[in-house]
Amino acid sequence: MNRPVMFFSRNLSYERPKMELATFHGAVQLAQQLDEPIHLLRERVTSKGGTTYAALTSMEVNDVANAIVRAVHAASS
């Protein structure tokens, strides 16, 4: 198991993932009701200097989107 997975499996309580899944579920429901692209909602609700902005910036700097694409391609090969 790699380090990040080990960290999260040891440091997250059972309740926290339930809360995160509920948040994700609510976001999906909201996105399904939108009449506009979801990136516009994300831009409206993300505060510069906030936690979401920090996380998204970190993912962009670390090329997470392309890592996910590569993982999907690897899994489908």
SS3 per-residue string spanning 23-72: HHHHHHHHHHHCCCCHHHHHHHHCCCCCHHHHHHHHHHHCCHHHHHHHHH
Q: Identify which has the larger pLDDT, 1 or 15.
A: 15
* Sequence spans of domains, the chain: 1-35, 46-77
Contact 38, 31 (CB under 8 A): yes
Could you tell me the sign of the dihedral formed by the alpha carbons of 24, 15, 50, 69, in that order?
negative
pLDDT in tens, 2-33: 566 555 556 666 566 777 888 889 989 988 99
